A and B are shown apart, each in its own frame.
Chain A
Amino acid sequence: MTGALAFLLSLAAGWCFVTAFLARQPMRNAWTAHVIRAALGAGAGVAISSGGFFLLLLAGAASATAVVVLNVALLAGGLVSLWLARRRAAALPPSAVPPSFRWNWLLALALAAGLALVLVGLISCSAANPLGEWDAWSIWNLRAKFLAGAGDAWRNALSTKLEGASQHPDYPLLVSGFVAMIWKASGDTAPWVPQLTGFLFLGLVLALLASALAALRSLTSALVAGLVLLSSTSFLFLATMQYADLPLSFYFLASLTLLVLAETPDCLALSGAFASMAAWTKNEGAAFAVLLTLAILAVEWRAAGLRCALDRSRRFLTGAAPGLLLVLGFKLFLAPASEPLFNQSAAHLKLADPSRYVQIGKALVVELYNLGQPWSHPLLLLAILALALRFRIDAARVRAWRASAAAVALAFAAYCVVYLVTPSDLAWHLRTSLPRLYAQLWPSFLLLAFLALNMPGAAGPAEPRASAARTEPRASASGRRSRK
């Protein structure tokens, strides 16, 4: 009961903070604003309470009571910031809602039916295997058990002396810390906590992707993106695995969504805050935060000059600073330097080995194929949409879209470089991690793809690509080859 209370308090606190940050951010309509805030708020709540629990551990004050007090204090802080933000928030004029696609109700029905089927299947898998997959009990939840232990037992989560396959004591603590916090509050280590956390993040990804696209493009985009996400079976299965890759994919998506949405400095800062939450989730998140900062700097510099670029990067980093400081402190003063990637001397030889490029290339193709089932593969669905609808990026958001796309592309390139120089057996490394790396970036990729697709009812001032404009005249303008 206390665990469930701490769980709910942390989500509520996150909602308050996010709603306060977005008080001045215009949204297209009420429901998208509510869903975006709820999804972002829940994710922020997990991250903030996890960081708070880590500070309790450092202070030697972690207990069930302290966890509840921490979350009540976070909620109180969130309510105060919400009250202050609402006082200074100007009344936002309602923005125009574009005309909708008439078959949205049918798409919604298909999405609801597909989601129900997939959820029932995933829940039955999770019930049959409540401890999750290998890395769940050998890394993430094992560390959570140490963190939830009495006295100084939490330091074992950072120990290099543990035996076994893969404890990774240098990994950041967002997921393990959150699960441990709830376990500490409840006084047991019930498997429902990591199970529910996995499904929570699956729901958050779906809700955020759909609501962001509804806000930025159209309800049709939101519904079809949801259907394509439902076809991404290897991504969906992450919900049952209890790994940190699904939360990481959410924080990537949240950071990029806010970057594209941003019409206020607060929203841009919140984008940075979510990038830092990604860094508190996995090491890949730290790389992503750096790459996204560089991408914003480069795109803004090219489009609007150095001054504007520095200003936007500064706002982004201001939001990221608290989370990045936590990660930096953890890495510098607590986490052992155990990453074998940085403790090797033969990396240059591996970079010059052509067979590694071939092996990685083959694995990239195979695992991309394994992302879904052959005849409902998400890339097949995206190809159908791209061929029929072509592309049209909202001119007002094209800079943020480019920066986001650059960050995703750079992150993917960074993953490939890591494979090139990995000290582990390359075949083993690719087999055990590549599907998860795809999954980390997949929701962000879908967001960017659907922001570019010219779906019916898509919002924003049109600025069609020359090629698309030549080959696909807008049906609404000409009325040719169209029907109601």
Chain B
Amino acid sequence: MPDVKPESPPPPTSYRALAAIAAVAALALAGALDYYQFLSSYSRSPEGGQVAAQAERFRGVLAALPPAGAVGYLSDRPPGGTERLATFGIAQYALAPRVLVTLKTGQRLDWVIGDFASQPDAARLAAEYGLSVAADYGNGVVLFRGNERP
């Protein structure tokens, strides 16, 4: 489809139309500059990379776990709160396609992930749930091995 050049010169435009279009262009451009400044400061804010940093904590665990299947989840954060919901969700995302299951007492799973806000007493937890500590990654993430496998 070839371009067709206009045969007539541009028609006159009213002052009002010109003023409106100029105002819109100026405001939009100034708004873009303002938004750029907002985005720049937002991208430097501490909460920006928190999710990625949380997910990164599980990198070491990935190699130790089988590529699929259910993995238990232990945490010291109170259940039901937003923080627990967020940390569980980030752990689930980091470990998918494995499926995270909040570990209940007596439940048997081959592998269990501990995701702790404070330094955990891993040995006590392992004894409480019938697990053994497979690896402590030192960043609040502990990998437990299920002891009571069939």
Give chain A's interface residues, CB within 8 Å of chain B.
Answer: 26-27, 29-31, 33, 92, 94-103, 106-107, 110, 113-115, 117-118, 120-122, 124-125, 127-132, 134, 137-138, 141-142, 145-146, 148-151, 153-154, 156, 159, 162-165, 191, 220, 224, 227-228, 230-231, 233, 236, 372-373, 375-376, 380-381, 384-385, 387-389, 455-457, 472, 475-476, 479, 481-484
Contacts and interface: CB of A to CB of B under 8 A. Distances in A.
B106 interface: no
A95 B16 CA distance: 30
**Most chain A CB atoms below 10 A, which of B13, B19, B30, B34:** B13
**Most chain A CB atoms below 10 A, which of B3, B43, B67, B97:** B97
A107 B18 CA distance: 11
Interface stretch (B87-95, B112-120, B127-135, B137-145): B87-95
B21 A373 contact: no
Interface string B77-99: 00000000110111011001101
Given A121-B40, A224-B21, A387-B20, A29 B12 contact: no
A142 B36 contact: no
16 contacts: A30-B2, A94-B1, A99-B9, A102-B13, A110-B29, A121-B36, A128-B44, A131-B52, A137-B93, A138-B89, A159-B99, A163-B92, A387-B20, A456-B17, A475-B11, A479-B12
Contact of B89 (A137, A228, A236): A137
A127 B1 contact: no
A145 B95 CA distance: 9
Contacts of B12: 475-476, 479, 482-484
Contacts of B36: 117-118, 120-121
B150 interface: no
A100 B24 contact: no
B59 to A, nearest CB: 12
Classify the interface of chain A: helix, strand, loop or mixed.
helix
A146 B97 contact: yes
Contact of A388 (B19, B30, B52): B19
Contacts of A457: 10-11
Nearest to A32: B1
Contacts of A29: 1-4
Given A125-B39, A220-B21, A165 B85 contact: yes
Contacts of B8: 99
**Most chain A CB atoms below 10 A, which of B5, B16, B28, B30:** B28
B31 to A, nearest CB: 3
A402 B13 CA distance: 28
Q: Which are the 8 A-B pairs with shortest beta-carbon distances? A: A376-B31, A149-B97, A121-B39, A388-B20, A476-B11, A114-B32, A482-B12, A145-B96
Contacts of B18: 103, 483
B6 A231 contact: no
B123 interface: no
Contacts of B101: 163
Nearest to B93: A137
B27 A376 contact: yes
Contacts of A99: 6, 8-11
Contacts of B38: 121, 233
B20 A117 contact: no
B35 A233 contact: yes
Nearest to B8: A99
Given A117-B35, A372-B31, A388-B16, 10 more contacts: A99-B9, A115-B32, A117-B32, A121-B36, A122-B39, A132-B51, A163-B101, A236-B35, A481-B16, A483-B12
A156 B99 contact: yes
B93 A124 contact: no
B25 interface: yes
Contacts of B43: 121, 124-125, 127-129
B29 A113 contact: yes
A151 B69 CA distance: 11
